[in-house]
Amino acid sequence: MPCYGARMPRPDFNLLLTLDVLLAEGNVARAAERLRLSPSAMSRALARLRETTGDPLLVRAGRGLVPTPRALELREKVSALVQDVEAALRPVRKPDFATLERRFTLRAGEGFVENFGPPLLARMAEAAPGIRLDFVPKSGRDSDALRDGTVDLETGVLGRGMGPEIRVQALFRDRFIGVVRAGHALCGAEMTPALFAAGRHLGLSRRGVPHGPVDQALAALGLKRNVVATVGGFSTAVALARASDLIASVPERHTGNLRDGMHSFPLPFPVPGITVSLFWHPRLHGDPVHRWLREILLDVCTAPRRG
């Protein structure tokens, strides 16, 4: 009696290609030549096919071979299967961006989205109107969302929480500057570290502790800012400075469009710059559409902008 619990042997999928060529040629010698096999190897392959299918497939008729009804039944089916396999293993074709529909998620800070989002979306709409880009806020510096596919791309400053396998592309260097509303008392003043520190300042911290590179640079000079309010993002800092007499210290490139109509000035003491980078998981590195989106982002971020 048959043993129904026994595992079926795994079929040899290489036989599909052999069968396809045999049925197309109807001749063992020609099939062997096409597959670059010796006549004896081709004969052994035909024997295996007959054993696997339980059918002679090709039978002698005079000096040639003719297909059995089972072979005729399999010919189109096997040909379609072989074409599907070849298509699956073929290198990816260049996408048709005019008709392509995809959806990506980009995690970025609000300042980045407000400053670089408009030109990025304009470039995408022109070349690939079917691609949707979802912006999500930054909630930390870990790479879990990139790993699990919740996020496709992320921008920011490389931190210790980013996994070692994550791909990194530098987008631009940025420096901190001061910004105040038009007509502020500091407009046109000869800025000094002491004058800057004596003003009323906005602190910037996602955790509520306003201590960063500007504070560290001032501390090296024996000075300390008078921080009267703390916010969690660059765009909020710029908006509050525009509507008050407070001073905001923000990255120049990150806030280019947001500072229109305001007075911006270089900080009167050295502050280390920052490198804003693009992050993605290696599984998406070779995807042609993802690569195209990365290139668009890099172009937008490196284009000359107003300061």
The answer, yes or no, to whether residue 160 has pLDDT greater than 80, is: no
The answer, yes or no, to whether residue 271 has pLDDT greater than 80, is: yes
pLDDT at 307: 43
% of the chain surpassing 70 pLDDT: 90
> Which pair of structure tokens corresponds to residue 50?
């007959």
The model's confidence at residue 151, banded by pLDDT at 50, 70 and 90, is very high
Q: pLDDT: is 171 or 304 the higher one?
A: 171
Average confidence (pLDDT) over 228-257: 92
Q: Is 205 helix (H, G, I), strand (E, B) or coil?
A: coil
Q: Please give the model's pTM, rounded to 2 decimal places.
A: 0.68
- Burial of residue 231 (CB within 10 Å: 0-12, 13-18, 19+) is buried
**Count of other CB atoms within 10 angstroms of residue 168:** 11
Average confidence (pLDDT) over 22-38: 86
The answer, yes or no, to whether residue 78 has pLDDT greater than 70, is: yes
Residue 281 in contact with residue 228, Cβ under 8 Å? no
**From CA 3, how far away is CA 25, in angstroms rounded?**
38
The answer, yes or no, to whether residue 1 has pLDDT greater than 50, is: no
The model's confidence at residue 207, banded by pLDDT at 50, 70 and 90, is low
Average confidence (pLDDT) over 73-93: 78
Each residue's pLDDT tens digit, 2-26: 454 445 566 677 788 888 888 888 8
Beta strands in the chain (DSSP E): 58-61, 64-67, 102-107, 131-136, 153-156, 167-174, 176-180, 200-204, 226-231, 247-251, 263-266, 274-280
pLDDT at 245: 96
Q: Which domains does the chain have, with CATH numbers?
A: 14-89 (1.10.10.10), 102-174+275-302 (3.40.190.10), 176-272 (3.40.190.10)
